[in-house]
Amino acid sequence: MRYSHRLSDAVHILAYVEIYRDGDLSSQAIAASVESNPALVRRLMGALRQAGLLATQRGSAQPHLLRDPATISLLDIYRAVEPDGDLLHVDDRTNPQCIVGGNIQETLRGAYQQVQRAAENQMAQITLAELISEIQVRERKRANL
């Protein structure tokens, strides 16, 4: 199973843009921090731009947040970069002749919807500002070691 890193990378990009707002904000610099490639960074920045979270301009390495980090939730970022939005996925290929195989999909869909709602409610409570603050606290602790 492959895991998506889009949310993690998108939070990384937004935090980087805010923390280094007076520094090098090129996709190359951000990609070096993410340890990814500039094309991926530009694609994610495009999705964040379309969601109204980030302003970018072609040919200019001056992205900036369009909203205060305290008003951007983890859910806002998640919805911007995860196309289908579902955390969990049901295997649709099961044996319909089996008691379990014939009923597992709908059973799990109901359970997964509950999990999705709970996760989204929690994600809505976490702000980019809180995440940035924690990054900065961790960096201060790391620097003092």
C-alpha to C-alpha distance for 86 and 111, rounded to whole angstroms: 13
DSSP alpha helix (H) spans, 35-103:
38-50, 74-81
Q: What is the pLDDT of residues 71-83, one digit of tens each?
A: 999 999 999 999 8
Cβ 57 vs Cβ 66: under 8 Å: no
The model's pLDDT over 22-73, given as tens digits with 9 standing for 90+, comes to 999 999 999 999 999 999 999 999 999 999 999 998 877 899 999 999 999 9
Buried b (16+ CB within 10 A) or exposed e, 38-54: bebbeebbebbbebebb
pTM over 0.85: yes
DSSP 58: T
Residue 64: enclosing H or E segment and its boundaries?
Answer: strand 60-65
